[in-house]
Structure 1
Amino acid sequence: MNQSMFIVWRESVEALLVIGILQAWVSQQSQGNRLARYLWTGVTLGVLLSGLLAALILFAGEAMSGSANEWFQAALVLIASLLIVQMVSWMHRHGRTLKHDLRRHADSHLARQGGLGLLLLAMLAVSREGSETVVFLYGAGARLRGPQLGLFAVGGVSGLVLATLTISLLHSSRRFISWHRFFVISETILLMLGAALLVSGTERIGGQLLAMDLPEVVYRGVGEALWDSSELLSDSHGLGGFLAGFTGYRATPSCLTLLVLVGYWLAVGGWLRQRATGKIPCPS
């Protein structure tokens, strides 16, 4: 539930931010009422495209069985992890100029294609956020069943409500949290979630490797735990369970899991050092 709530919250905030910028631009145009219809048609089509992607992913997952399904789910989880890192990187590069870039693109599309250009811009922007959300949610909840799946869905709805409240708060007051601080905090949590998804995908792949006829060293690296810290902090419930879902913490990590987790944070740490003097989103 926590994962789905955060994913939907963060992605919805970004989508609502884009829609808000375009809506403000439309309100300044001489044909604002007509352009608003194009804008919201584009938003609706973007949501529908995201829904279509969700249906295709679910259909593909249901159509596969056994090992093929496990490999498919592992691939989606790994893609979700990479998309999270890519999204954080994209916001670092374009966050500060997002408002200017969207307005410039809107002017350009309107000049070339009229209202249809604005419709296309809104559709692509919303479908991008929606598609990322679909992949992230599938990666985080692919193994859930029954009551857990229900809680996961409740978390998603809660995230959408929370996103609306967040946008209202960010626009109405800077006393509690600024755009700069919001993006820094949310990107940090996103990177931790990316690590958790990467570990989950690695474990799925490890499970498939254990079923193959491979050298003994592979079985030891994939299946044997390096240590067991369950008595200190179990990863099945409480704080440990929360850390497992959001950071990839494991009480009994294998060599493969540890290498993947350490490699991920070394790569992210190096990237963050390079970006230390870069641009932080502040789309005011």
Structure 2
Amino acid sequence: MFSTFIITLREGVEISIILAIILAYLKQLGASRASGKVWLGTAAAALVSLLTGVVIFFVLGKTEMGDFQEILEGTFMLVAVVILTWMTLWMKRQSADLSGSLKLKVQDALKHGSGWTLATLAFVTVIREGIETVLFISGAAQTSTGGQIWEGTILGFGLSAIVGYVIYRGTHRLPLKAFFNVMSLLLIFMAAGLASNGIHAFQEVGWIGEGFKVWNTQALLSQDSTAGSLLKAIFGYRDNPNIVLVTTYLIYLIPALVAYFKPAKSVRSQG
């Protein structure tokens, strides 16, 4: 549940911030009447994301063909890792000018006098986060039960909706930069575990060898214990991992952290 909660909280807050900026700016411009189109685009994006999730869970849940199921799950996990990583790094680069960029798009939509342009803007910005959320939840769901997924999703999106409302009202100043840094780092570590789990699925069908065991912490913290199973679901912890899984974890984690903390290139003004 915790992994799903972190995913939906982080992505939900991103969606809430986008909607809060658009709606607050429309109110500032005296164009609140167009907010209905924004909610329409948002609802359409949510519906498409939900249907995508249903299809993915149906395919993974109904596929019971031994090795093929392992291959499908492993492939899906690795694809989810790639998309999540790209979106996390993209959002970090865009966050500095997110508000200004959205306001310019709102102005352009109002200039053309089409509320449907606003609906499209909301749809495109929300669907990006929605599909990313569905993909990562689907990948993480391979180590969670259906009840845990729903509990984490409801809690995560519920709390993010409250955050969005607070931002829209402008009554409190929230430490969003610190929040996104913490959430993004958690997601990177979770993605490292997901990448390791994806490779493990290919080991199960004999596509990838295992090599030697790196450590054995079963006596100290078994992956079947409450704490161990939680760490396994969130960060991919294993109490007796082989060298390939450990190497996969580090090969993903180190470059991802370097890329995340790499400072953005500053553009020197010429004069």
Give the TM-score, by structure 2 length. 0.87
Amino acid at match of 1:200: N
Contact persistence 1:230–1:251 (CA under 8 A): yes
Give the aligned partner of residue 189 of structure 1: 186
* 1:139 Cα deviation from its structure 2 partner: 0.5
Question: Within 2, Cα distance between the matches of 1:113 and 1:209?
Answer: 59
Mapping for residues 154-233 of structure 1, pairs under 5 Å: 154-168=151-165, 172-174=171-173, 178-209=175-206, 219-221=209-211, 224-233=212-221
Question: Within 2, Cα distance between the matches of 1:240 and 1:57?
Answer: 27
Query: Which whole-Å deviations, capped at 9, do the CAs of 1:223-272 have from their partners, x for residues lacking one?
Result: x5332111122222243333322222221111110110111122123324
Q: Quickly say closer, same or farther: Cα 1:265–1:160, change in 2 above 3 A.
A: same
Mapping for residues 1-284 of structure 1, pairs under 5 Å: 1-33=1-33, 35-62=34-61, 64-66=63-65, 67-112=67-112, 114-144=114-144, 148-168=145-165, 172-174=171-173, 178-209=175-206, 219-221=209-211, 224-273=212-261, 275-276=262-263
Give the aligned partner of residue 282 of structure 1: none
* 1:178 Cα deviation from its structure 2 partner: 1.0
Q: Quickly say closer, same or farther: Cα 1:41–1:183, change in 2 above 3 A.
A: same
Query: Which whole-Å deviations, capped at 9, do the CAs of 1:26-79 have from their partners, x for residues lacking one?
Result: 21334431x112111111111111122112223333453322222222122112
Contact persistence 1:226–1:253 (CA under 8 A): yes
Q: How many residues are matched?
A: 263
Amino acid at match of 1:246: I
Q: Quickly say closer, same or farther: Cα 1:184–1:107, change in 2 above 3 A.
A: same
Amino acid at match of 1:20: A
Contact persistence 1:74–1:201 (CA under 8 A): yes
Query: Which whole-Å deviations, capped at 9, do the CAs of 1:160-219 have from their partners, x for residues lacking one?
Result: 222233445665434xx5112111111111111111211111111111226xxxxxxx64
Contact persistence 1:235–1:244 (CA under 8 A): yes
Among the aligned pairs, what percent are the same residue?
24
Amino acid at match of 2:49: S
Question: Within 1, Cα distance between the matches of 2:225 and 2:160?
Answer: 27
Contact persistence 2:77–2:194 (CA under 8 A): yes
Contact persistence 2:9–2:157 (CA under 8 A): yes
Amino acid at match of 1:240: G
Amino acid at match of 1:236: D
Could you say what the CA RMSD is over the residues aligned between the two structures, in angstroms?
2.3
Contact persistence 2:19–2:122 (CA under 8 A): yes
Secondary structure in 2 aligned to 1:97?
Answer: helix
Question: Within 2, Cα distance between the matches of 1:277 and 1:124?
Answer: 25
* 1:116 Cα deviation from its structure 2 partner: 1.1
Contact persistence 2:23–2:32 (CA under 8 A): no
Give the TM-score, by structure 1 length. 0.84
Question: Within 2, Cα distance between the matches of 1:167 and 1:108?
Answer: 24
Q: Quickly say closer, same or farther: Cα 1:84–1:278, change in 2 above 3 A.
A: farther
Question: Within 2, Cα distance between the matches of 1:166 and 1:31?
Answer: 23
Question: Within 1, Cα distance between the matches of 2:205 and 2:23?
Answer: 48
Contact persistence 1:93–1:278 (CA under 8 A): no
